[in-house]
Amino acid sequence: MDTSLRDDPVFAAEALDGLRSDPKWIDSKWLYDAEGSAIFEEITQLPEYYPTRTETRILREEVHALQRVLAPGTVLVELGSGASVKTRILLDGADHLAAYVPVDISARFLEETAHGLRQHYPDLDISPVIADFTGDIDLPPALDGAPKTVFFPGSTIGNLPHDTAAAMLGRIRRWNGIGALILGIDLVKDTGTLVRAYDDSAGVTAAFNLNLLKRMNREIGADFDLSAFTHEARWNTAHSRIEMHLVSQDDQVVPVAGADIHFSRGETIHTENSRKYTRDSLAAIARKGGWEIADFLTDPDRLFAVAILEPSGRSPGPGE
């Protein structure tokens, strides 16, 4: 009996499905184990990676505009919370929130972050939820009736295909008590700035991408030689997105979860997309999910935007 799927059968099944496809791909959510999440936090501090510092600046400068959707008694729910660094700007600027609910797929990283926040905000109810935000999220039942604002920073929505993003927004729109969504989005700009942000000179983003191979080796019985793959960032003009790839440096066969996966020299595993937006392209996705843009806050160079979405008159049905 094959025991290679014992550690994480879901990860193994999804990885095999992607690696047997043409072209090969793996869902970007699997980049974020505890090590991957920690490396990503390093990426956010790199000089080439403008999104974090630019979004942080917007949040700090526009905190008064954000306070109107963070009234006393509001539950703040953060999707893909990571280290919750930017969240502290909102928590420090809001009075008497009912609770903070960080949602993340990495259980260990989530609990470590929640522990640190409890030390810093001892009077705030902090209730972490382990979940993939592209699916259904079970919020704490005690908070069901409270007004809710969702925080989704970092342009993480750009990792999702437009239909998936609209469907996610639609599910959130149907939450009981939902009042607003604070959404960070990266804006379309020159290709050089974009590519450098995802292929830094120190190689930290490369380590983040290659960590996916380490994770497969550790968790699903794979045997990737990390030196046989390199990281590459590409700008896809047609789809307005940066793509991350792992490029095979030679013809090779890699065991993965009991199967042999064949690679040709130059063949890639497509590991992540980061879509870039205009106000109009965001508005189109928001409308499909039952939202409208109430405010669109940007930096002077229009590198990044923080959009405040509010429910439109129409709530999408479960099948939309």
DSSP string, 200-212: -TTSHHHHHHHHH
CA torsion, ordered 198, 200, 203, 204, to nearest 10 deg: -60
pLDDT score, position 240: 96
pLDDT score, position 7: 65
Q: What gap in Å lies between CA 274 and CA 155, rounded to an integer?
A: 8
* 191's tokens: 């290709």
Closest CA to 34 of 227, 268, 219, 286: 219
pTM, two decimal places: 0.86
CB atoms within 10 A of CB 49: 19
pLDDT score, position 317: 58
Closest CA to 191 of 149, 133, 241, 146: 241
What is the enclosing helix (H) or strand (E) of 178?
strand 178-186
CB atoms within 10 A of CB 142: 12
Residues of the chain with pLDDT below 70 are 1-7, 314-320
pLDDT score, position 308: 98
SS3 assignment, position 232? strand
User: For 283, which DSSP code?
Assistant: H
Helices (H) and strands (E) in the chain, counts: 10, 13
Q: Could you state, in order of their start, the residue ranges of all structural domains in the chain?
A: 9-29+193-275, 50-189+277-311
pLDDT score, position 1: 30
* CB 265, CB 251: distance < 8 Å: yes
pLDDT score, position 3: 39
State the CATH class of domain 50-189+277-311.
alpha beta
Which positions ≥6 away from 317 have C-beta within 8 Å?
Answer: none
Q: What gap in Å lies between CA 105 and CA 30, rounded to an integer?
A: 9
pLDDT score, position 95: 86
Q: What gap in Å lies between CA 137 and CA 123, rounded to an integer?
A: 25
pLDDT score, position 304: 98
pLDDT score, position 2: 39
pLDDT score, position 314: 60
